[in-house]
């Protein structure tokens, strides 16, 4: 059995134990599968948490109390070596939704008593049979909108519960051919190289066409929304985003990996930029701010076809002096 397959099986067993445990059993499950000094990174208001019991107490137990009868509905499951480190690092990534009955308030968000979906993506680093590091990013504003508490002005893209890959082949429980992952990583690297410039000398549409299919789908976070085709992506997100910021730092990721036709990365933060006005309908502040992001991609041929994005917009706006979560939930 390959190390990659062992890591996958560990995380799958961890998920099964975590999802089936009663809320009071969650600390023991976390301690069974995670290292004592687990480093867990989550979106605002959780940020960095050290230790498995602390993660259970602060994140998992309150969430499971709120979203009862929770199900994990995965759309992507993959593993690979981190391409950014000299020493071997095995990471396992899953993406999908945590679905439950929104029966009790969470983070001040009013429960609906109905089905609710929390978009999530998690990267787990496995070492010596334990999870030693996790980046778990989740779209809290998406849950707020489902509860009728939209925290943002009208977005440029479309909002809905997002589907998984069009090809329905994102759950890679078995190892995939290395050549496919290498090709996916190459496509992602080429896109990052273009994206990191913001001054390629080409029109935005022509720049995007170098690494994206014309019928690309960009599944953006709540507050920005999803968009379809290069032309509409340039108009509805990429163009306005570039116009609304200056002084974008170089891209910095903690993990970047791929398996089969899928790949992705995360940073803490990925980059820093200064808003000059117009982003999400908010005025400019001139304050540089961090962007914590996970991107997951599906490759088709030698170009990218789909992209699921998780951005910590609550953290970004808090750096700008606007506590979106506190402002929205205090109205209840």
Any idea what the CATH number is for the domain that residue 324 is in? 3.10.450.50
Mean pLDDT of the chain: 94
Residues 245 and 105 in one domain: no
Residues 122 and 207 in one domain: no
Least Cα distance to 77 among 163, 172, 199 occurs for 172
Residues 135 and 250 in one domain: no
Q: List pLDDT tens digits, range 145-195.
A: 999 998 888 888 888 899 999 999 999 999 999 999 999 999 999 999 887
Q: Is the dihedral of CA 139, 145, 150, 152 positive or negative?
A: positive
Least Cα distance to 312 among 222, 196, 215 occurs for 222
**Any domain includes 162:** no
Residues 123 and 64 in one domain: yes
Q: In a 10 Å sphere around its CB, with 0-12 CB exposed, 13-18 middle and 19+ buried, how is residue 169 labelled?
A: middle
Q: List pLDDT tens digits, range 231-247.
A: 999 999 999 888 888 88
* CB atoms closer than 10 angstroms to residue 153: 10
Residues 11 and 91 in one domain: yes
Residues 24 and 139 in one domain: yes
**Any domain includes 152:** no
**pTM of the entire predicted model:** 0.95
Strand ranges of the sheet holding 245-246, from the earlier edge strand across to the other edge: 245-246, 271-275, 289-291
Residues 18 and 90 in one domain: yes
Residues 130 and 35 in one domain: yes
Residues 198 and 305 in one domain: yes
**Any domain includes 151:** no
Q: Rounded CA gap, 244 and 202, in Å?
A: 19
**Any domain includes 137:** yes
Domain count for the chain, please give it.
2
**Any domain includes 235:** yes
Tokens standing for 177? 């051919």
Domain that residue 45 falls in: 3-146
Q: List pLDDT tens digits, range 53-66.
A: 999 999 999 999 99
**Any domain includes 297:** yes
**Any domain includes 172:** no
**Any domain includes 168:** no
């Amino acid at each position: 059995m390959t190390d990659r397959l062992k890591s996958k099986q560990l995380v799958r067993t961890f998920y099964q134990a975590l999802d089936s445990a009663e809320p009071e059993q969650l600390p023991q499950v976390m301690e069974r599968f995670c290292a004592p000094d687990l480093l867990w990174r989550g979106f605002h208001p959780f940020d960095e948490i050290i230790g498995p019991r602390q993660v259970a107490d602060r994140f998992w137990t309150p969430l499971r109390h709120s979203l009862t009868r929770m199900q994990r509905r995965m759309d992507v499951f993959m593993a690979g070596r981190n391409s950014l480190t000299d020493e071997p690092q095995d990471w396992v990534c899953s993406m999908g939704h945590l679905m439950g009955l929104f029966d009790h308030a969470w983070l001040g968000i009013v429960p609906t008593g109905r089905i609710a979906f929390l978009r999530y993506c998690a990267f787990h680093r496995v070492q010596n049979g334990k999870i030693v590091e996790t980046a778990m990013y989740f779209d809290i504003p998406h849950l707020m909108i489902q509860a009728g508490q939209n925290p943002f002005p009208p977005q440029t893209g479309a909002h809905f519960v997002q589907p998984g890959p069009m090809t329905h082949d994102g759950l890679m429980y078995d190892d995939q051919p290395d050549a496919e992952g290498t090709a996916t990583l190459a496509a992602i690297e080429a896109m990052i190289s273009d994206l990191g410039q913001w001054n390629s000398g080409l029109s935005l549409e022509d720049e995007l066409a170098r690494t994206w299919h014309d019928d690309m789908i960009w599944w953006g976070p709540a507050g920005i929304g999803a968009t379809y085709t290069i032309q509409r992506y340039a108009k509805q997100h990429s163009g306005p985003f570039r116009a609304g910021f200056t002084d974008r730092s170089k891209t910095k990721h903690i993990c970047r990996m791929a398996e089969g036709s899928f790949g992705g990365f995360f940073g803490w933060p990925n980059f820093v930029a200064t808003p000059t006005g117009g982003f999400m309908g908010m005025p400019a502040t001139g304050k540089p701010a961090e962007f914590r992001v996970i991107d997951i991609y599906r490759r088709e041929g030698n170009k990218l076809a789909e992209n699921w994005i998780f951005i910590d917009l609550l953290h970004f706006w808090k750096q700008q002096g606007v506590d979106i979560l506190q402002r929205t939930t205090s109205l209840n």
